[in-house]
Amino acid sequence: MRSRILITLILCLILTVGCSAPLAFPPEGTAEPASAPLEGTPAPESPAPTAMPIAANASRSFSYAALNGDTAYWCTSSGVLAMNATGEGKVLSEVKACKPLVMDDYLYVVEEKTDVTDEVAWPVPSDAVTASNILRIPLDGGEAEQIYTTTYINTIAAADGRLYFSTTQGEALQDAGGLFSIDAKGGDERLLAEDCARLSTLQDDYVYYMGVAEESAAFFRVHIEGGEAEQLLAGPAMPVTPLAYQGDIYYVNTDFTSAEAENNLTIMRLRDGKSEVLGGGFKAHELLGIWDGKLYYAAPSSNEQGLLSLVRIDLATLDSETLRKEAASQFAALSGAYVAYSDYAPVYAATELKLMPLPGEEPITLKIEDVVKSQG
């Protein structure tokens, strides 16, 4: 009984820290598509970030915002908004959704439905969701097209013309569901793994996910075409916001039994399966992404507001620098050239989003009210 409670606590933390939405990676050796210009606005002067192949870049998923080039796509109670670095924006769709991601010429989102008779505020609580619909919306505007439906989707990712998602709804590992992939148009469904609690990241032709083995929390990977899953870690110290990059896994340690180990930024080398604290010891709240050999993460602070700092580490030298001190209540999305964050958590309840050019220039504030008013 005691072990089952511990497993449940571990998974609850994993499911709540940076509740994930989607990742969109360019196919290896190809360029990430530039974001579509917003109608009636000038093309941004700054170029889109240099696209990197999947083998050289890793980024985790976020629940309510996605970045593509210099454009942020933000799921709000007013619909899905598209806003660029010039401060201009538009309502891309009035659908209330979450877990946005960009692939090719479409924005993919998850629309959650409930048959609860009482009025349920958006976003729908996970235990009240009775259907999850995957929709795709053209980046240049147009009707949202439903391409797939299932009972519940907790995380979704994309690569090379396919979508990958996990379907766990419960908070205990015993409720683990499945790991699936479908074609970007909605067909060719494949079951990649059973007993998947949560998709974590997608990298180098592998899907990494949380699951269960012998009634204990475990961390696995499986090839994107399917096959036998490989167990990489076993509980109780499960990885939070793991990122796979060039043969290594970077993650935040969740070892509750050791105050010294908890929140340590940790690296696991896949060639020998050994884990060690990265460098001299970096304390991290969550990992955001790895771009051009640099790891970006949210660092905890001691301020009363609980604001997070944005820090990056050069993985070649392990030199670190704080790009924005005590900047955000929650980071909403990261790309190679921008970070989106909010002064208010959770992001879905915020009224504005800040878009900051990296490495640390002054952010642009994007307000829901201004975008909605501009649509008349």
Higher pLDDT, 53 or 114: 114
Query: Cα separation of 232 and 246, whole Å?
Result: 16
**What's the pLDDT band for 135 if we cut at 50, 70, 90?**
very high
Q: Going edge to edge, which strands form the sheet with 177-183?
A: 23-25, 155-159, 162-166, 177-183, 190-203, 206-213, 216-223, 230-234
Q: Going edge to edge, which strands form the sheet with 98-103?
A: 98-103, 106-113, 131-138, 145-150
Query: Cα separation of 99 and 200, whole Å?
Result: 14
Q: Is residue 352's pLDDT more than 50?
A: yes
Tell me how crowded residue 141 is: count the other CB atoms within 10 A of its CB: 14
Residue-wise DSSP of 299-364: EP--STT-PEEEEEEETTT--EEEEEEEEESEEEEE-SSEEEEESSSSGGG-SEEEEEETTTPPPE
**pLDDT score recorded for residue 145:** 97
Q: Amino acid identity of 120?
A: V
**What's the pLDDT band for 271 if we cut at 50, 70, 90?**
confident
**pLDDT score recorded for residue 180:** 94
User: pLDDT tens, 224-235?
Assistant: 999 999 999 887
Q: Give the C-alpha distances (Å, rounded to integers) separating 319 from 309, 326, 332, 361.
A: 16, 20, 25, 20
Domain 2-374 has CATH 2.130.10.150: yes
**pLDDT score recorded for residue 79:** 92
